[in-house]
Amino acid sequence: MRAATKYRDAAVLAASLAACQAAGLIGALFTRPAIPGWYASLAKPRFTPPPWLFAPAWIALYLMMGVSLFLVWRRGESEPGRRDALSVFFLQLALNALWSPAFFGLRSTGAGMAVIAGLWVAIAVTLNRFRKVSSTAAWLLLPYFAWVSFAAALNYSLWTLNP
Protein backbone atom coordinates (compact mmCIF):
# COMPACT_ATOMS: atom_id res chain seq x y z
CA MET A 1 0.00 0.00 0.00
CA ARG A 2 1.35 3.41 -0.95
CA ALA A 3 2.12 5.91 1.80
CA ALA A 4 -0.38 8.42 0.40
CA THR A 5 -3.15 5.81 0.57
CA LYS A 6 -2.24 4.93 4.16
CA TYR A 7 -2.37 8.59 5.19
CA ARG A 8 -5.66 9.12 3.35
CA ASP A 9 -7.17 6.04 4.98
CA ALA A 10 -5.95 7.17 8.40
CA ALA A 11 -7.53 10.59 7.85
CA VAL A 12 -10.81 9.06 6.65
CA LEU A 13 -10.89 6.69 9.63
CA ALA A 14 -10.21 9.57 12.05
CA ALA A 15 -12.96 11.69 10.44
CA SER A 16 -15.40 8.75 10.53
CA LEU A 17 -14.74 8.10 14.20
CA ALA A 18 -14.90 11.80 15.05
CA ALA A 19 -18.23 12.28 13.23
CA CYS A 20 -19.84 9.45 15.17
CA GLN A 21 -18.36 10.43 18.52
CA ALA A 22 -19.53 14.03 17.89
CA ALA A 23 -23.11 12.76 17.74
CA GLY A 24 -22.51 11.18 21.14
CA LEU A 25 -21.06 14.38 22.57
CA ILE A 26 -24.09 16.35 21.41
CA GLY A 27 -26.30 13.83 23.15
CA ALA A 28 -24.26 13.99 26.35
CA LEU A 29 -24.70 17.76 26.56
CA PHE A 30 -28.45 17.25 26.89
CA THR A 31 -28.44 13.96 28.77
CA ARG A 32 -26.17 14.58 31.75
CA PRO A 33 -28.04 17.55 33.23
CA ALA A 34 -31.39 15.73 33.00
CA ILE A 35 -30.34 12.42 34.61
CA PRO A 36 -30.35 13.36 38.32
CA GLY A 37 -33.59 15.34 38.22
CA TRP A 38 -36.10 14.74 35.45
CA TYR A 39 -35.00 11.26 34.32
CA ALA A 40 -34.58 10.01 37.91
CA SER A 41 -38.15 11.09 38.68
CA LEU A 42 -39.71 9.06 35.84
CA ALA A 43 -41.53 5.80 36.49
CA LYS A 44 -39.42 3.14 34.77
CA PRO A 45 -40.04 -0.39 33.55
CA ARG A 46 -38.25 -3.30 35.27
CA PHE A 47 -35.92 -3.78 32.29
CA THR A 48 -34.38 -0.31 32.60
CA PRO A 49 -30.58 -0.63 32.71
CA PRO A 50 -28.63 1.31 35.33
CA PRO A 51 -27.67 4.80 34.13
CA TRP A 52 -23.91 4.05 34.24
CA LEU A 53 -24.32 1.44 31.46
CA PHE A 54 -25.40 3.90 28.77
CA ALA A 55 -22.14 5.84 28.34
CA PRO A 56 -19.83 2.83 27.77
CA ALA A 57 -22.44 1.15 25.55
CA TRP A 58 -22.76 4.25 23.37
CA ILE A 59 -19.02 4.83 23.17
CA ALA A 60 -18.55 1.27 21.88
CA LEU A 61 -21.46 1.63 19.45
CA TYR A 62 -20.14 4.94 18.10
CA LEU A 63 -16.74 3.33 17.57
CA MET A 64 -18.31 0.49 15.57
CA MET A 65 -20.39 3.00 13.62
CA GLY A 66 -17.26 4.98 12.81
CA VAL A 67 -15.40 1.91 11.54
CA SER A 68 -18.48 0.92 9.53
CA LEU A 69 -18.65 4.40 8.00
CA PHE A 70 -14.94 4.22 7.17
CA LEU A 71 -15.34 0.89 5.38
CA VAL A 72 -18.05 2.29 3.13
CA TRP A 73 -16.45 5.71 2.65
CA ARG A 74 -13.10 4.30 1.53
CA ARG A 75 -14.71 2.19 -1.22
CA GLY A 76 -14.37 5.12 -3.61
CA GLU A 77 -16.65 7.30 -5.68
CA SER A 78 -17.16 4.65 -8.36
CA GLU A 79 -18.62 2.04 -5.95
CA PRO A 80 -22.30 1.46 -6.83
CA GLY A 81 -24.61 2.51 -4.01
CA ARG A 82 -21.88 4.17 -1.97
CA ARG A 83 -23.28 7.69 -2.22
CA ASP A 84 -26.79 6.58 -1.22
CA ALA A 85 -25.38 4.51 1.65
CA LEU A 86 -23.42 7.47 2.98
CA SER A 87 -26.40 9.81 2.63
CA VAL A 88 -28.69 7.60 4.67
CA PHE A 89 -25.90 6.98 7.21
CA PHE A 90 -25.59 10.72 7.84
CA LEU A 91 -29.38 11.03 8.06
CA GLN A 92 -29.52 8.38 10.78
CA LEU A 93 -26.54 10.00 12.52
CA ALA A 94 -28.40 13.33 12.57
CA LEU A 95 -31.48 11.61 14.01
CA ASN A 96 -29.24 9.92 16.57
CA ALA A 97 -27.86 13.31 17.63
CA LEU A 98 -31.41 14.74 17.74
CA TRP A 99 -32.82 12.12 20.08
CA SER A 100 -31.17 13.39 23.29
CA PRO A 101 -32.26 17.02 22.76
CA ALA A 102 -35.79 15.77 22.03
CA PHE A 103 -36.00 13.34 24.96
CA PHE A 104 -33.77 14.90 27.62
CA GLY A 105 -33.55 18.51 26.42
CA LEU A 106 -37.30 18.91 25.98
CA ARG A 107 -37.97 16.44 28.79
CA SER A 108 -40.43 14.77 26.47
CA THR A 109 -40.82 11.01 26.21
CA GLY A 110 -43.22 11.62 23.29
CA ALA A 111 -40.75 13.72 21.30
CA GLY A 112 -38.09 11.11 22.02
CA MET A 113 -40.46 8.39 20.76
CA ALA A 114 -41.07 10.27 17.50
CA VAL A 115 -37.35 10.72 16.86
CA ILE A 116 -36.36 7.17 17.82
CA ALA A 117 -39.02 5.71 15.51
CA GLY A 118 -37.50 7.62 12.59
CA LEU A 119 -34.01 6.68 13.76
CA TRP A 120 -34.91 2.98 13.85
CA VAL A 121 -36.19 3.09 10.26
CA ALA A 122 -33.13 5.07 9.11
CA ILE A 123 -30.77 2.53 10.70
CA ALA A 124 -32.63 -0.33 9.00
CA VAL A 125 -32.26 1.44 5.64
CA THR A 126 -28.59 2.16 6.38
CA LEU A 127 -27.98 -1.51 7.16
CA ASN A 128 -29.53 -2.50 3.85
CA ARG A 129 -27.55 0.08 1.88
CA PHE A 130 -24.27 -0.69 3.68
CA ARG A 131 -24.75 -4.42 3.08
CA LYS A 132 -24.68 -3.75 -0.67
CA VAL A 133 -21.34 -1.92 -0.37
CA SER A 134 -19.59 -3.80 2.47
CA SER A 135 -21.01 -6.74 4.40
CA THR A 136 -18.50 -6.08 7.19
CA ALA A 137 -19.78 -2.51 7.51
CA ALA A 138 -23.33 -3.80 7.81
CA TRP A 139 -22.36 -6.39 10.43
CA LEU A 140 -20.71 -3.65 12.49
CA LEU A 141 -24.04 -1.80 12.62
CA LEU A 142 -26.08 -4.75 13.91
CA PRO A 143 -25.27 -4.11 17.61
CA TYR A 144 -26.31 -0.48 17.10
CA PHE A 145 -29.60 -1.57 15.53
CA ALA A 146 -30.20 -3.99 18.41
CA TRP A 147 -29.41 -1.32 21.03
CA VAL A 148 -31.68 1.25 19.38
CA SER A 149 -34.42 -1.39 19.19
CA PHE A 150 -34.03 -1.89 22.94
CA ALA A 151 -33.87 1.88 23.50
CA ALA A 152 -37.07 2.31 21.49
CA ALA A 153 -38.83 -0.26 23.70
CA LEU A 154 -37.54 1.56 26.77
CA ASN A 155 -38.58 4.95 25.38
CA TYR A 156 -42.05 3.56 24.59
CA SER A 157 -42.39 2.19 28.12
CA LEU A 158 -41.33 5.51 29.61
CA TRP A 159 -43.82 7.27 27.36
CA THR A 160 -46.70 5.04 28.47
CA LEU A 161 -45.72 5.03 32.16
CA ASN A 162 -45.33 8.81 32.34
CA PRO A 163 -48.24 10.40 30.45
> Does 3 or 84 have the greater pLDDT score?
84
Supply the DSSP string of 1-23, one letter for each residue.
--HHHHHHHHHHHHHHHHHHHHH
Average pLDDT over residues 40-47: 97
| pLDDT tens sequence across 116-155 | 999 999 999 999 999 999 999 999 999 999 999 999 999 9
> At CB < 8 A and 24+ separation, what contacts does 90-94 make?
91/122, 92/119, 92/122, 92/123, 92/125, 92/126, 93/19, 93/20, 93/23, 93/65, 94/23
Q: Is 9 exposed, middle or buried (0-12, 13-18, 19+ CB in 10 A)?
A: middle
| pLDDT tens sequence across 116-127 | 999 999 999 999
Q: What is the pTM of this model?
A: 0.93
> Does 52 or 143 have the greater pLDDT score?
143
In whole angstroms, give the CA distance from residue 121 to residue 127: 10
In whole angstroms, give the CA distance from residue 163 to residue 117: 18
Residues of the chain above pLDDT 70, percent: 99
In whole angstroms, give the CA distance from residue 153 to residue 163: 16
| pLDDT tens sequence across 53-112 | 999 999 999 999 999 999 999 987 777 899 999 999 999 999 999 999 999 999 999 999
In whole angstroms, give the CA distance from residue 16 to residue 13: 5
Indicate the pLDDT class of residue 1, thresholds 50, 70 and 90. Answer: low
In whole angstroms, give the CA distance from residue 101 to residue 110: 12
